[in-house]
Structure 1
Amino acid sequence: MALKMHGALSAAELGSKLSTTSEAARQQLSRLAEEGLVVSASLASGVGRPTQRWSLTAAAQSRFPDTHAALTVQLLDIVRSSLGDAALDTVISVREAETRSAYRTAVADHLPLRDKVEALANIRSAEGYMASWREEADGTLVLVENHCPICAAATACQGFCRAELDVFRAILGPQAQVERTEHIVSGGLRCTYAIRPVTR
């Protein structure tokens, strides 16, 4: 909390703010550094050894309250109640089109289906979905998303989930049949997609 409120501090400065010794503060900082919650940087300050100043990492920042999910739901409700369902559908459609365009840039059409699924899993992981994929004995490719960073929005408006499924189908192409078999918003532990090659 002290680092959040005051920015980067030395162990001595932190000890002073916490009414403890700089050594006690340094021990706490070392433990937090092992957990990936703080990082130090050397700051030259004239003659003598540089001062180590400690600051929060992104992992630590995420532990503080964040009301973006509540704000997102509120904005969706405002769009729906003030502008109507058609306006909300437009918002979802624009997001879907932008997502499809970005994914098309990253997933080449000529790739084999397996490579497309792997690329899609990588993209989704980078977006915070904690995605992975595997191939079953029968040749079914399974895309698993262990987290949903837009869960609040998707719960408030399931058009987002429909749009994501449509994007997957567009990116994987007509040679793939994509079915959602598990759904976080519907009570599942994760979102799971079964992807099967279309046999002609």
Structure 2
Amino acid sequence: MADHIGSRQRQLLELLLESKDGLCIDEMARALNISRNAVQQHISVLELEGYLQAGDLHKTAGRPVRRYVLTEAGINSFPKQYAWFSMLMLGDLKKEIGSEAFQRYMSKLGDNLSQSYKYRFTGKPADERREELLKIMDELGFKTGGKIDSGNNNPATIKAYNCIFHDLAQKHNEICQFDIALMASLLEKDVELAECMAKGSGACCFKITNK
């Protein structure tokens, strides 16, 4: 769960997680043994941060009361095991089809993803295509610093200072073929992974050469 959420607010979110239809202020106050005003203050903060929202009015014997429910952000603030599940799934896939086929599969995934970005490269010269690739990589979280190293007749080089699937790549180096295929398809150039963070380098270094 998000670290900045206070202990009482965490308890309130846990109550709502267990009550899919939502709870009203009085119900939350009784469950937590705190005042209605305290609940309202916590709700105001959590609603402002997008963790919960006001639901429908609920009919009672008296006046209708407003229930509060978790938003998707509220649900996602609880622990998830995406990395663990991905590791489990990829490990089983690699075992099932073999390392070479697994490498081809990752390359295919990268190439498939590139198709959704192709429109951003249409009609652009080589230098603008490289700049557009940097933007896309940064959007994906690779942290390139927005620059390409080139000169002295050396191949143009892109350095990525964040591996977006570092733990997975440490276990399965074939995953790096995803990056290579994505970049090669968008630039229509050959791409070589010269240095790799998953193998201990300080950055992933991609060299770009003509096909």
Alignment of 1:26-41 (within 5 A): 26-34=40-48, 36-41=49-54
Q: 1:172 maps to which residue? A: 187
Q: For structure 1, which runs of at least 5 residues remain unmatched after alignment?
A: none
Alignment of 1:99-178 (within 5 A): 99-104=113-118, 106-113=119-126, 115-117=128-130, 119-121=132-134, 123-124=136-137, 127=140, 129=141, 131=143, 133-135=145-147, 144=160, 146=162, 148=164, 150-174=165-189
Q: 1:33 to 1:141 in 2, by over 3 A?
A: farther
Deviations 1:89-125 (A, max 9, x none): 3432331331232232x42232245543554455456
* Amino acid in the other structure paired with 2:180: L
Deviations 1:135-181 (A, max 9, x none): 47989896756461x3343222121213312321321234xx86768
Q: Are residue 6 (structure 1) and residue 19 (structure 2) matched?
A: yes
Which of 87, 96, 112 is equivalent to 2:110?
Answer: 96
C-alpha root-mean-square deviation of aligned residues, in Å? 3.9
Q: 1:166 to 1:81 in 2, by over 3 A?
A: closer
Is the CA contact (8 Å cut-off) linking 1:133 and 1:142 kept in structure 2? Answer: no
Is the CA contact (8 Å cut-off) linking 2:87 and 2:168 kept in structure 1? Answer: yes
Is the CA contact (8 Å cut-off) linking 1:3 and 1:55 kept in structure 2? Answer: yes
Which range is displaced more, 106-115 or 63-72?
106-115
Q: For structure 2, which runs of at least 5 residues remain unmatched after alignment?
A: 1-13
Shift of 1:45: 4.8
Is the CA contact (8 Å cut-off) linking 1:42 and 1:50 kept in structure 2? Answer: no
Q: 1:147 to 1:94 in 2, by over 3 A?
A: closer
In the alignment, the residues of structure 1 paired with residue 193 and residue 72 of structure 2 have an alpha-carbon distance, to the nearest angstrom, of 35
Which range is displaced more, 12-21 or 112-121?
112-121
Deviations 1:49-104 (A, max 9, x none): 8726242442x433322222212212222233343223423432331331232232
Is the CA contact (8 Å cut-off) linking 1:178 and 1:196 kept in structure 2? Answer: yes
Alignment of 1:45-56 (within 5 A): 45=58, 51=66, 53-56=68-71
In the alignment, the residues of structure 2 paired with residue 28 and residue 131 of structure 1 have an alpha-carbon distance, to the nearest angstrom, of 36
Is the CA contact (8 Å cut-off) linking 2:108 and 2:178 kept in structure 1? Answer: no
Structure 2 SS opposite 1:53: strand
Q: Size of the alignment, in residue pairs?
A: 190
Q: Are residue 78 (structure 1) and residue 92 (structure 2) matched?
A: yes
In the alignment, the residues of structure 2 paired with residue 181 and residue 89 of structure 1 have an alpha-carbon distance, to the nearest angstrom, of 17
In the alignment, the residues of structure 1 paired with residue 134 and residue 112 of structure 2 have an alpha-carbon distance, to the nearest angstrom, of 18
Q: TM-score, normalised by structure 1?
A: 0.67
* Amino acid in the other structure paired with 2:16: L
- Percent identity over the alignment is 16
